[in-house]
Structure 1
Amino acid sequence: MNSQAASVSKFLRRKTSRRLRRFYQFTLIALVLSVIIAACTNSEPGAIVTDPPDHNAALTIWWDKGFNLEEDEAIQQVVNDWSKQHNAPVELSFYTADDLSQKAQRALQAGNPPDIMMSNSAGKALIPRLAWQGELADVSDVIEPVQQLYPASVLDSVALYNNTNQKRSYYTVPISQSNIYIFYWRDLIQQAGFQESDIPQDWDTFWAFWQQVQDNLQNQPNQTIHGLGFSYSVASGDTYSMFEHILEAHDVQLLTPNGDLLIENPQTRQGIIDSLRWYTQFYQQRYVPLGSEDWRNSDNNTNLLNRTVVMTPNASLSIPATVRQDTDTYQNKLGILEFPNKPSGQPMRYLDDIRQAIVFADSENQKAAKEFLSYLIQPEAIENYLKAAGGRNLPVMTSILENSFWTNPADPHLSTATKILLEKQSRPFYSIYHPAYSLVVQENVWGQAINRIVVDRVSPGQAADDAIQQIQQIFAQWQ
């Protein structure tokens, strides 16, 4: 080959090499961009997606986002284990309690619900209505193999009426339970000049005690702490949950177990007025922080943990779970109490708060959904999951609840919560008796009444009458 031909050949090889490099570079860039675009397209704010699947095959699960990371990690591990055992892809997404119910309703309207949804708030505000409307799959085949392990009260809470096929059946799977507890700072009541043994057990003196603690603390220099961490907002489920217990404490019965509304009874009306007056007096007397009329679900937790209130009721063990890693705070500084006796002197009756999972009737993977839930509620699996989740919620199976992990007095929070569940009287929330009451929960009718008294300064009588009328209108739509 002459020198000119050699030069041309060398030039062509260099040019070809440059083109190949450019081709590979452009191909790599295009591949990276396609992955980024796909990720942005398939995920939503607030969702955590694992193993992005083929949507035609994947089991889709929407789960209540935990208060702590370990809660999310615990269910993630269960999902991973099941997915590997069954060689089945799973898409697990977490959403806050405030978002999950609304997102589920939008998905149903669009005809694209997930296969499984687990939500604590939806258990009272949405699920009974979905069962009534025939939107849920019957999960009796999931529950019946382990039915003997559940107490009757739990089974009653998940047996809902389907108006489409005119029968009551199991339409939800009980996952865990909690109750309403009272948390407080031991060192703050000592700073106010009291000991734990000074806390009364009868109704009026119990609540007056926390008022006196505030008075004593605020008489000290640079103290603005409040005695009570009650919520008065429409946005907070704690307002509803606490006030339902106040109605129970005052022996106000709104519905019969058959779903008959008793709210027109003059005695019931007066009980509602008295309960509203009792609850709102603490705001009016400034024994709760200003701003509690605007609290959201986590704000009572935050105010206690920030030590701006001495005590707060809360409907789970999320507060001690937050400080579990701080042994001194968990064991010694943070206290937990049962509710005092009712004004009548009778022991308090608690409202069962069952966390439930549902399978939608339009689920594309109903068989896989039921297989996953059957796997999750096996005694060993469900106990391991609840332990790994940090103990914010407790087992629903009595045999598990009696295990030493939950009853050990060395853990003051778990053992007290377990004692309440095992020994105290309870009943379901009213939405179990009639699905119309789930709209009362969703609209937070009691939160509206309470908020109007403290913000708009209407009388308890007027707020009660407006609430009664609103509830009657809701129930009239279900006749």
Structure 2
Amino acid sequence: MKNMIKTSLGLALMMMCSSSLCATLTVWEDLDKAGAIREFADQFEKKYGVKVDIKDRDSANHVYDVADLISRGEKTPDIFLLVSDRVGDAMSKGLLAPIDNMEQEHSRYIDTAAALFKVKGKYYGVPRSVEALVVYYNKDVMPIPYETLPEYIDFTQKHKAEGIYGLISKVDNFYYSYGFFGAYGSYVFKQNSEGEFDAYNIGLDNDKALKGVSVLYDFAKNHVPQSVLGAEGWDNIDDMFKSGKVGAIINGPWTLNKYASAGINYGIAPLPKLPDGTPMRPFFGVKSYAVCSKSENRKLAEEFLKFINQTDFALKRYHKIAELPPIKELLAKEEIKNDDYASAISSQVEYADPMPTIPQMAFVWEPMEEALYSIIKNGEPIEAALDLGVMKVKQKIAEN
């Protein structure tokens, strides 16, 4: 049966090309990342006699840009990048084509990664990389990372006279602070047994959320400099890390190149456990390759994605761009297990919640960040601030 499928596919791909006309597959990669798959695209071109045109574009804008091209009746890419929290939005805009070979291929990927792109029994993404918050530590300030939040706090107490902190984070940012919510079982939108999110069941003001935010408040108010709050906080955190004024920070994979180019002698570790030993549970997200609904080369696109996501190719891509593919065979390799960065990411994903994939997630960020800021900066009672934040989220959902 498998041989019949391969033969049929091969014939279909051959029919796309003739001596006078050859199919061109247009692929959008992330900004400055096209080179990570160019080698494999060249091999694909030779194998199937087609052309692969890879373009560098900021993946944060792929969904917007594809939707814009479709609305103006212009040519779209065959393949673009889709982050898991944009699945619902992309589906509602009609941007995605189902990827049929993922019915067989999905088992190659960790279950949580593939499931985020499954809608009503069909897959709409091929997982490319997984990301979650981790701890970056400056080995010249803190030779080894700690396993618990109290240990980082103890470091702060011991070095307070020197003006050096143990661990800091953008505590008033909901994305960065969700690990405290998720630790005790709070959630943004409740998931059912099929993994679908219920926009009308919000768990950000329940007892579990109150417990997590109480720990966050104590940490933020007593053990983190107030300069991390507000818009200026981002730069202040980076400056403190680069200058050795903090031993460790919480950040994501997107900052890896920045810290490496700054010459910091850094290491990477999972997030610390809270004072009672409970692991923090931040969001995790998955970046996938998606096939555009307007593509005239869908089968070719599917085969291309299967081709470039072979384990050995995905491993080479990881070494080039440091974005970890959630492929089971790859994660089981000794070189990945012994890689501090890959090990930290894969370990953290085991203790992380998937970021909701429904469009209503867009209405959560601002109200919850306002709530966190009012709690940490202004001393607003936690329960009242969270209740108000959730009320605003519900209002926004109702209005839209």
Q: Which runs of 5+ in 2 are unaligned?
A: 1-21
Seen in structure 2, the aligned counterparts of structure 1 residues 129 and 310 have a Cα distance that, compared at 3 Å, is same
CA RMSD of superposed structures (Å) = 3.7
1:215 aligns with 2:152: no
Q: CA deviation at 1:138?
A: 0.3
Which residue of 65, 68, 81 maps to 1:118?
Answer: 81
Residues in 1 aligned to 2:156 and 2:262: alpha-carbon distance in whole angstroms: 31
Aligned match of 1:77: 39
1:257 aligns with 2:191: yes
- Structure with greater strand percent: 2
Residues in 2 aligned to 1:397 and 1:309: alpha-carbon distance in whole angstroms: 34
1:244 aligns with 2:216: no
Residues in 2 aligned to 1:323 and 1:455: alpha-carbon distance in whole angstroms: 32
**Per-residue CA shift, 1:188-218, capped at 9, x if unaligned?**
24xxxxx648x4x444x14523532551422
Q: CA deviation at 1:393?
A: 2.1
Matching of residues 423-462 of structure 1 within 5 Å? 424-431=350-357, 435-440=358-363, 443-451=365-373, 460-462=382-384
Which residue of 366, 369, 379 maps to 2:311?
Answer: 379
Q: CA contact under 8 A between 2:184 and 2:212: conserved in structure 1?
A: yes
Residues in 2 aligned to 1:355 and 1:407: alpha-carbon distance in whole angstroms: 21
Q: CA deviation at 1:170?
A: 0.5
Which residue of 158, 172, 178 maps to 2:125?
Answer: 172
1:65 aligns with 2:31: yes
Seen in structure 2, the aligned counterparts of structure 1 residues 337 and 306 have a Cα distance that, compared at 3 Å, is same
Paired amino acid for 2:28: W
Q: How many pairs were matched up?
A: 374
Q: CA contact under 8 A between 2:131 and 2:286: conserved in structure 1?
A: yes
Residues in 2 aligned to 1:114 and 1:357: alpha-carbon distance in whole angstroms: 12
**Per-residue CA shift, 1:134-184, capped at 9, x if unaligned?**
43100132x234333223222322212xxxxxx331011111223321111
Q: CA deviation at 1:462?
A: 4.8
Seen in structure 2, the aligned counterparts of structure 1 residues 275 and 348 have a Cα distance that, compared at 3 Å, is closer
Paired amino acid for 1:123: S
**Per-residue CA shift, 1:365-407, capped at 9, x if unaligned?**
3333223212112222222222232xx2222121111112201
**Per-residue CA shift, 1:215-260, capped at 9, x if unaligned?**
1422xxxxxx554442257xxxxx3432222211233134332233
Residues in 2 aligned to 1:207 and 1:263: alpha-carbon distance in whole angstroms: 35
Paired amino acid for 1:248: G
Paired amino acid for 1:76: R
- Scaled by the length of structure 1, the TM-score of the pair is 0.66
Q: CA deviation at 1:264?
A: 6.2
SS in 2 for 1:468: helix
Residues in 2 aligned to 1:340 and 1:322: alpha-carbon distance in whole angstroms: 21
Residues in 2 aligned to 1:61 and 1:182: alpha-carbon distance in whole angstroms: 33
Seen in structure 2, the aligned counterparts of structure 1 residues 324 and 418 have a Cα distance that, compared at 3 Å, is farther
Seen in structure 2, the aligned counterparts of structure 1 residues 85 and 104 have a Cα distance that, compared at 3 Å, is same
Paired amino acid for 1:319: L
Matching of residues 81-96 of structure 1 within 5 Å? 81-96=43-58
- Scaled by the length of structure 2, the TM-score of the pair is 0.77
SS in 2 for 1:136: coil
